[in-house]
Amino acid sequence: MINPFVEEIALQVSHATNMPADEVRALLETPPRPEMGDRALPCFALAKTLRKAPHLIARELAAQMATGGRISEVRPTGPYLNFFLSKTHLIAETLWAILDQGAEYGRGDEGVGKTVVIDFSHPNIAKPFGIHHLRSTVIGNALRNIYRALGYKVVGVNHLGDWGAQFAKLILAWNYWGEGELTADITIQKLLELYVRIHEEIEDKPELEREARAWFRRLEAGDEEAVRMWRVCVEASFKEFDRVYKMLDIGFESIAGESFYQDKMPAVLAQLREQGLLTQSEGASIVDLEAWDMPPFIALRSDDATLYGTRDLAALMYRWKTYRFEKLLYVVDVAQSLHFRQLFQVLELMKCDWREKCVHVQFGRLRFKDGGGASTRRGNVIFLEDVLHRAIELTRQIMADKNPDLPNREQIARDVGIGAIIFADLDSKRVRDIAFDWDEVLNFNGETGPYVQYTHARYCSVLRRYAGPLPPRDVNFELLNETEAVEVVKCLARFPDQIQKAADEYEPAAITALMVELCVVANRFYNAHQVLSGRADLTAARVALVYAIKTVLASGLALLGMKAPEQM
């Protein structure tokens, strides 16, 4: 959605400087303190083209800006040009937009007719859905919602790790130690034990490695027995993954794991060969990337077994052909950044001019300060499912204390417990490592999911107590001129910009930050002013503001992939 105030600034500056309005818009910042203004234009970027010192540019531009409408004042401060927005305009326009558009407020249409493919979650079959896959799952899901809000068609793809040499090892292990036939009622726990055991065994007896490779060859050749056992592993794993996806309420437009590309690799290998990109090295076929300071991209192993990277390359070609995407986002751990740099470099060598549309949206590590707690560890691994259950259990205890008479308490404990995990994951810049501390994650007064949900529920309850129709009509916005109310409106007005920013930077934290800020200013307003009073006009104006707060909090939570209970 276009923010009319930002637009006004961008157009005026563009007019005065000849810099395209888009570029001006991208430069605008929010000053660190409200006394300094509502928006700031740093003039450094203009210094080159205008051949003047930034502070001079700021001073000269200030004189050229027209005030009186949406912009009430312009003030040069050093190298910055600070803009003050007209409160009357801001309040009336922002609140009107929210009352009018409701849940649609903040959405945009820049993506209409364009497709974004998001490769996210992608756990590995026959292995636990661990917390390391939590981040990809919740960041990917939030981006999916955010891009959708901007009008894009989003294809969320679950690129399951369902192919590779590890299955051959499992088959081998089952043949050694399994009882009877391998069937789909086997648990991931059991598969994991087998996997760990065969690994230890292989260390002692390296000749087993050869046996495992033989099984992988059989699997790749479509051997009936091998394929049947593999299929059982896939089925058994997906049953467990599905439980996690249901708890998180996350779905995909396409579940196409690595195995899906099995028959699509020969074409890619042929293309590489045709373009003269493949060389032989110790029996393997590689793409040499030395010129880019990277190890070679291995396309085919010396025993002709295919690899993770080759499947990714086939997936890239398939996705381009199928979706003609505007963007393809890989929401994957920072540990794989070399892999993606190699992959994208190979694309460039293959003369795929859409290479720039592919982005590795990387994120840092997640760990628990208490090591996960004994109750969420099985062996050495933390199962995500156990973490979610623990969050729900702890929330249940907190709610039993806080609000024992709450109807529908069980569902709310789930919404809040799981929401707490999602919010904590999204709340810091994604590239940063994060350390979960249960007390912090679930603190109802900290910068947490429960705090935002609780604030939302609080304003729902105010609205329940208001007798009139919602949203109120005939609002006199002039009555909302107290500082606390104005701060709330300023925050609400930034919601559309933050959605845009979250999309542009692949950064859901842009939304969490605004949510927390909105809660803080909203609560400040609420503590300073009585919403429901004997004065009908004042009540209507304040209820309109509360309605707007509630609407934006609910929209923000939905974008993050969280529930917004109306009572807590």
Site residues, ligand ARG (CB under 6 A): 119, 122, 124, 159, 161, 312, 315, 330, 332
Beta-bridge mates of residue 84: 73
Q: How many beta carbons lie within 10 A of that of residue 60, not counting itself?
A: 16
Least distance between ligand ARG and beta carbon 416 (Å)? 29
Cβ-based neighbours of 291, under 8 Å, separated by 6 or more? none
Closer residue to ligand ARG in complex, CB, 25/301: 301
Show the tokens assigned to 137: 């799952």
Between the CA of residue 311 and those of 110, 112, 151, 231, what are the distances in Å? 32, 30, 30, 18
CB of 162 to ligand ARG, least distance (A): 9
Beta strand residue intervals within 416-512, DSSP E: 434-436
Residues 6+ apart with CB under 8 A from 340: 330, 332, 360
Residue among 312 and 487 whose Cβ is closer to ligand ARG: 312
Question: Given the complex with ligand ARG, which of 124 and 342 has the nearer CB atom?
Answer: 124
**Shortest Å distance, C-beta 155 to ligand ARG:** 13
The order of strands in the sheet holding 297-300 is: 278-281, 284-287, 297-300
Q: Using CA of residue 115, residue 116, residue 121, residue 126, what is the dihedral sign?
A: positive
With beta carbons less than 8 A apart as the criterion, state whether 272 and 299 touch. yes
Question: Any idea what the Cα angle at residue 169 is, between residues 163 and 170, rounded to 5°?
Answer: 85
Residue (313 or 492) nearer to ligand ARG, CB: 313
Residue nearest to ligand ARG (CB): 161
- Smallest separation (angstroms) from ligand ARG to the CB of 135: 11
Query: From the CB of 313, what's the least distance to ligand ARG, in Å?
Result: 10
In the complex, what is the shortest distance from the CB of residue 139 to ligand ARG, in angstroms, rounded to a whole number?
13
- Identity of the residue, 202 or 315, whose beta carbon is nearer to ligand ARG in the bound complex: 315
Task: List, in order, residues 6 or more apart from 318 with CB less than 8 Å away.
Answer: 261, 264
CB of 371 to ligand ARG, least distance (A): 22
Contact (Cβ atoms closer than 8 angstroms) between residue 449 and residue 562: yes
Choice between 5 and 147, CB closer to ligand ARG: 147
- Size of the chain in residues: 568
Q: How far is the CB of 11 from ligand ARG (least distance, A)?
A: 42
Residue 119 or 447 having the CB closest to ligand ARG: 119
- CB-based contacts of 293: which residues, under 8 Å, 6+ apart? none
CB of 293 to ligand ARG, least distance (A): 22
Query: Of the two residues 159 and 542, which places its CB atom closer to ligand ARG in the complex?
Result: 159
**Taking the CA of residue 267 as centre, how many other CA atoms within 13 Å lie in the half-sphere pointing to its CB?**
10
Closer of 135 and 159 to ligand ARG (Cβ): 159
